[in-house]
Amino acid sequence: MAVARTVVVKAVNAGLWSLQRSRSRSLQQAQTVRALSTIMSPPSKAVVYEHHGPPDSVTRVIELSPVEVKENQVCVKMLAAPINPSDINRIEGVYPVRPQVPAVGGYEGVGEVYSVGSAVKGLSAGDLVIPSPPSSGTWQTYVVKDQDMWHKISKDSPIEYAATVTVNPLTALRMLEDFVTLNSGDSIVQNGATSIVGQCVIQLARFRGIHSINIIRDRAGSEEVKERLKAFGADEVFPESQLEVKNVKGLLSNIPEPALGFNCVGGNAASLVLKFLRQGGTMVTYGGMSKKPITVSTSSFIFKDLSLRGFWLQKWLSADKAKECRDMVDYLLCLAQEGKLKYEMELVPFDNFHTALDKALGKLGSQPKQVIKF
């Protein structure tokens, strides 16, 4: 009887051991299947900075290891990304909103879907996408972000315009629509007219039948600059020195006094915008390239009742405007695709990033917008 019990116990133990082996083997197989099904991005080449400071000193190009593409994420092969003044300010550490360091540079751009996570719907390999709203980290060859961070655009979109459509053209569109009701025949005045925002303001205003008065810096070749802006649709273009007169409005022919002005320079250039504005006019400031303060005379407030406002695209985007933003991006890209919205850019190979950065920093004189091509 004891022998029989011993045999039964041994059989039970053998069965348990066999079951444990089977479960262990199944677990290993499951882990292997999961490992094989894990999607990884390719290694990425990126512009990084580990601390804030002068961009030409603190940035370097390095190789980043592959990262996992989780079930709701999309891996995008970047095609192009611009160097904007706000990108430079983020690296310098002076922009109000910036990523924690170490960080990858860049804020907008365009890319092609490389791979998608298992739960992603509506996007597939080969789709053309932009980060919308924009987000940090576009100066690298591969970017992995959640699906809802990407906006699918038409494959017919010109790559350089898709890369730059959000920050500058959208700023121009919103400023024309958000502050003063403008009708066909009205006018606006702006400094910084050669910037991409300035070029877009000229063209978007012209589409609406709105005249534009444009102020540019005194520089060599200013006549050539004036002709380029007039080709975009500018009605009047004045170097700053031409406006050092008491009555600037006497320089206008059949253009009405502007109700709305845009300032991205500050200092004397802002004062020139104010001189043009009509009674009750509004000046919107969206930049301060000269790093000089805006000085307003007491009479401008008392006798002209002028208003000073500010516009920051990032604040507008953060106000639950994702759908509206994407609709406007599609509209602007459609204009670009039809050749109705143009601005000056220079496409630069990624290998020449630091040359492009020097140009963006103004170290090589006045240059068009620098757009990195990956």
CB 359 within 8 A of CB 337: no
CA 24 to chain centre: 51
Query: 104 is written with which tokens?
Result: 């990858």
The answer to whether the peptide bond before residue 96 is cis (omega within 30 degrees of 0) is: no
How far is the C-alpha of 331 from the C-alpha of 313, rounded, in Å? 17
**Tens digit of each residue's pLDDT (9 = 90 or more) over 223-240:** 999 999 999 999 999 999
pLDDT at 21: 54
pLDDT interval class at 188 (50, 70, 90): very high
Label residue 252 by pLDDT band (50, 70, 90). confident
109: Cβ contacts below 8 Å, ≥ 6 apart: 78, 79, 80, 81, 82, 130, 131, 138, 139, 163
**366: pLDDT confidence band, cut at 50, 70 and 90?**
confident
Percent of the chain with pLDDT over 90: 81
| Interval 300-321 mean pLDDT | 90
Confidence of residue 15 (pLDDT cuts 50, 70, 90): very low
Lowest-confidence segment of 32-41, 239-248, 341-350 by average pLDDT: 32-41
Q: Which domains are seen in the chain, by residue range?
A: 44-167+344-373 (3.90.180.10), 180-310 (3.40.50.720)
Distance separating alpha carbons of residues 263 and 293, to the nearest angstrom: 12
pLDDT for res 29: 47
Q: List the catalytic residues.
A: 95
* Average pLDDT score, the chain: 91
Q: How confident is the model at residue 249 (pLDDT cuts 50, 70, 90)?
A: confident
Integer-rounded Cα radius of gyration of the chain: 28
Residue 14 one-letter amino acid: A
